[in-house]
């Protein structure tokens, strides 16, 4: 995902840093204290030991020792090309043994009162991202200023083929969804160890964006909800991108095996486990480059009967969502950055783009001429009605770019959000919804209020010099940390945020005015998407 704000976030000053320490069992952990921000950091802590295509083992602290946790650890191996950061060659490098996390806490942690914990799961299409992208010091510093101090945990988890290899051989060797199992292991680590840092294991809120939010939603369909008591889902739910049957990934598995030269070996899986790391990295980059960007992904979440016990769309429809209070929301222009690489000028190119997005899912929708005609009718070729919204007759990247972006955003995000919320309301689960609708001046006009656009506001990127953007950032974070404390986002000086059950409303975030709005935009189109959703999600069943 686009992460243009991250270099600013990641450039943290170490002025006035001094050592602090925490004890876990027999191990002393040395961190840093920044007097200017009042934040202590413990970086690069291993929560597990991971080897290729095996589930990570819990990290042991049984032997006396010392851990220097004053520098970020490496990222997990991943594809390049979604943004300009080139993670694989970043300042912290990459390692296959990458199951680690960073902890940020206030310096003045109360001795008798354990603090709520917020655990971040990054996005990046399950192919890119790292803990060091998202320094949590700004969250901790601001939470202390408003007298709601929290501890923030940011985790790595395995990505790309390392974390989400599919296919029959991966299933037979217990190698499906390793990235999700990493997340679970990190949450188990928090339950076991966060009290040593002053955190309350009974007040853990998981929050994440895009594939991180989707991951949280998947965990809400399993027993893993015992590991957290609240959730904040930014741009992603259980049906944003379907989990597939493992055989749907078989062609991708065989392609990877062939590219790295394992196709002539009697045991292709064991060959993949031992092939040179750089060879495997290059192969994953080749495969991703050949796939439909953000569409026909080579790797992804698979139904394994365990951490993904069944089709997420079916489980959601059956109401099998854990009774965990949650916030979920979207940005206004979710689809723009996903469509931008495409040329969309004609109806044929529009349908080709959408069908390619569902290539691995064999969606029967595209064989139904009546449904296709109705979709085009409800999302007409009128630029003023397309995304980015409220940009008039501008067409940007082709005459049907905005039309495609509106459809893509509504299928993957807006309908998925409403569907998840409606099920939660029917089950009496406390839930709140938002729409982030603030254009950031550093964004390109064609992006609009784009996917990932809210993240710098949550992570307190903006300074007082940014005026109303800084004010909006403070407002958003006050809601987030209030939810971590009270399982309700209400904050004394903020506008009232009603539960979704009270009138099906969103809290719309803008710098000019944050207020409750009816969640009924593009109702006919999004309702129609709901009637055909099974056709898009069918191959996950």
Query: How are beta strands 302-303 and 326-331 bridged, if at all?
Result: unpaired
Beta-carbon contacts of residue 156 (< 8 Å; ≥ 6 apart): 73, 75, 76, 98, 99, 100, 101, 130, 131, 182
Residue 305, both tokens: 């009967």
Rounded alpha-carbon distances, angstroms, from residue 354 to 349, 399, 533, 539? 9, 16, 14, 16
* CA dihedral angle for residue 253, residue 161, residue 284, residue 351, rounded to 10 degrees: 70
Which structural domains are found in the chain, ordered by start? Answer: 331-540 (3.40.50.1820)
Residue 46, both tokens: 């291993």
Q: How far apart are CA 106 and CA 39, in angstroms?
A: 5
pLDDT at 81: 58
Q: How far apart are CA 94 and CA 73, in angstroms?
A: 8
Cα dihedral across residues 299, 301, 302, 306: positive or negative: positive
Coil, strand or helix at 164? helix
Measured in degrees and rounded to the nearest 5, phi and psi for residue 387 equal -110, 130
Q: How far apart are CA 372 and CA 363, in angstroms?
A: 12
Q: How far apart are CA 180 and CA 231, in angstroms?
A: 16
Beta-carbon contacts of residue 513 (< 8 Å; ≥ 6 apart): none
Residue 57, both tokens: 């083992």
pLDDT at 13: 39
Residues in the chain: 541
Q: How far apart are CA 51 and CA 40, in angstroms?
A: 30
Residue given tokens 């099906």 in the structure block: 504
Region label for 392, one of left (φ > 0), alpha (ψ between -120 and 50) or beta (otherwise)? left
Measured in degrees and rounded to the nearest 5, phi and psi for residue 241 equal -135, 120
* One pLDDT digit (tens) per residue for the chain, 541 residues: 333 334 344 444 344 567 999 999 999 999 999 999 999 999 999 999 999 999 999 999 988 899 999 999 999 998 875 444 444 446 788 999 999 999 999 998 777 789 999 999 999 999 999 999 999 999 999 999 999 999 999 999 999 999 999 999 999 999 999 999 999 999 999 999 999 999 999 999 999 999 999 999 999 998 667 899 999 999 999 999 888 899 989 999 999 999 999 999 999 999 999 999 999 999 998 898 776 444 467 899 999 999 999 999 999 999 999 999 999 999 999 999 999 767 789 999 998 888 777 544 556 677 778 889 999 999 999 999 999 999 999 999 899 999 999 999 999 999 999 999 999 999 999 999 999 999 999 999 999 999 999 999 999 999 999 999 999 999 999 999 999 999 999 999 999 999 999 889 999 999 999 999 999 999 999 999 999 887 767 555 5
CB atoms within 10 A of CB 83: 16
Do the Cβ atoms of 200 and 115 come closer than 8 Å?
A: yes
Region label for 362, one of left (φ > 0), alpha (ψ between -120 and 50) or beta (otherwise)? left
- In terms of Cβ atoms closer than 10 Å to its own Cβ (0-12, 13-18, 19+), residue 194 is buried
Hey, which residues does 232 pair with through a beta bridge?
A: 207, 327
Q: How far apart are CA 122 and CA 133, in angstroms?
A: 9
Cα angle 464, 465, 466 (rounded to 5 degrees) comes to 90
Of 364, 329, 269, the closest CA to residue 489 belongs to: 329
DSSP structural state of residue 431: E
pLDDT at 293: 44
Residue 395, both tokens: 């067409």
CB atoms within 10 A of CB 392: 7
Q: How far apart are CA 330 and CA 234, in angstroms?
A: 6
Q: How far apart are CA 35 and CA 522, in angstroms?
A: 49
Residue 375, both tokens: 């979709």
Measured in degrees and rounded to the nearest 5, phi and psi for residue 409 equal -65, -35
Tell me which H or E stretch contains 105: strand 100-106
Q: What is the pLDDT of residues 341-383, one digit of tens each?
A: 677 899 999 988 887 775 445 566 777 788 899 999 999 999 9
Residue given tokens 């809400």 in the structure block: 220
Coil, strand or helix at 3? coil
Coil, strand or helix at 49? strand
Region label for 326, one of left (φ > 0), alpha (ψ between -120 and 50) or beta (otherwise)? beta
Establish how many alpha carbons lie within 13 A of residue 117's alpha carbon, considering only the half-sphere containing its beta carbon. Answer: 26
Tell me which H or E stretch contains 29: strand 27-34
* Residues assigned a catalytic role: 210, 334, 451
Q: What is the pLDDT of residues 53-105, one digit of tens each?
A: 999 999 999 888 999 999 999 999 988 754 444 444 467 889 999 999 999 99
Coil, strand or helix at 113? coil
Residue 126, both tokens: 């399950």
pLDDT at 8: 40
Measured in Å, how far apart are the chain's first and last C-alpha atoms?
27
Coil, strand or helix at 488? coil
- Before 162, cis peptide (omega within 30)? no
Beta-carbon contacts of residue 449 (< 8 Å; ≥ 6 apart): 331, 332, 333, 388, 436, 437, 438, 439, 440, 443
């Amino acid at each position: 995902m686009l992460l243009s704000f991250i270099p600013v976030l990641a450039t943290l000053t170490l002025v006035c840093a001094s050592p602090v320490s925490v004890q876990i069992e027999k191990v002393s952990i040395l961190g840093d204290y920044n007097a200017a921000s009042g934040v202590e950091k413990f970086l690069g802590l291993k929560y597990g030991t991971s080897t290729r295509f095996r589930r990570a083992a819990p990290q042991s602290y049984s032997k006396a020792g010392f851990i220097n946790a004053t520098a970020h650890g490496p990222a997990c191996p991943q594809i390049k090309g979604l943004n300009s950061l080139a993670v694989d060659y970043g300042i912290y490098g990459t390692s296959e043994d990458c199951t680690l996390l960073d902890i940020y806490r206030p310096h003045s942690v109360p001795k008798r009162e354990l603090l709520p914990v917020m655990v971040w799961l990054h996005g990046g299409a399950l192919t890119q991202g790292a803990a060091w992208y998202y320094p949590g010091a700004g969250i901790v510093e601001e939470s202390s200023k408003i007298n709601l101090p929290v501890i923030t945990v940011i985790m790595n988890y395995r990505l790309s083929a390392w974390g989400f290899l599919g296919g029959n051989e991966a299933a037979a060797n217990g190698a499906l969804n390793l990235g999700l199992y990493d997340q679970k292991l990190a949450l188990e680590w928090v339950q076991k160890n966060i009290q040593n840092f002053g955190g309350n294991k009974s007040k853990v809120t998981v929050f994440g964006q895009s594939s991180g939010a989707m991951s949280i939603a998947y965990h809400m369909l399993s027993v893993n909800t015992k590991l957290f008591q609240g959730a904040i889902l930014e741009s992603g739910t259980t049906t944003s991108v379907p989990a597939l049957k493992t055989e749907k990934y078989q062609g991708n598995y065989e392609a990877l095996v062939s590219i790295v030269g394992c196709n002539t070996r009697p045991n292709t899986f064991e060959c993949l486990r031992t092939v040179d790391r750089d060879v495997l990295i290059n192969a994953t980059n080749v495969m991703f480059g050949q796939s439909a960007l953000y569409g026909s992904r080579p790797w992804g979440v698979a139904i394994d009967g365990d951490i993904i016990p069944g089709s997420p769309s079916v489980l959601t429809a059956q109401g099998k969502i854990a009774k965990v209070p949650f916030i979920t929301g979207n940005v206004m222009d979710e689809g723009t950055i996903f469509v931008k690489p495409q040329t969309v000028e004609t109806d044929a190119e529009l349908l080709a783009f959408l069908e390619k997005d569902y290539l691995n899912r064999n969606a029967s929708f595209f064989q139904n001429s009546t449904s296709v005609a109705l979709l085009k009718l409800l999302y007409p070729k009128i630029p003023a009605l397309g995304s980015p919204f409220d940009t008039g007759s501008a067409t940007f990247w082709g005459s049907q770019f905005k039309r495609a972006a509106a459809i893509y955003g509504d299928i993957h995000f807006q309908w998925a959000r409403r569907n998840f919320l409606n099920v939660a309301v029917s089950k009496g689960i406390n839930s709140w919804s938002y729409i982030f609708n603030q254009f950031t001046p550093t964004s390109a006009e064609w992006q609009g209020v784009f996917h990932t656009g809210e993240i710098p506001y949550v992570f307190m990127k903006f300074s007082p010099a940014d005026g109303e953007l800084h004010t909006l950032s403070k407002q958003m974070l006050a809601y987030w940390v209030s939810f971590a404390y009270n399982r309700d986002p209400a904050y004394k000086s903020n506008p009232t945020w009603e539960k979704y059950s009270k009138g099906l409303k969103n809290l719309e975030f803008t710098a000019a005015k944050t207020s409750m709005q009816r969640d009924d935009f593009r109702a006919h189109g999004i309702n129609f998407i709901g009637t055909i959703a099974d056709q898009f999600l069918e191959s996950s069943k």
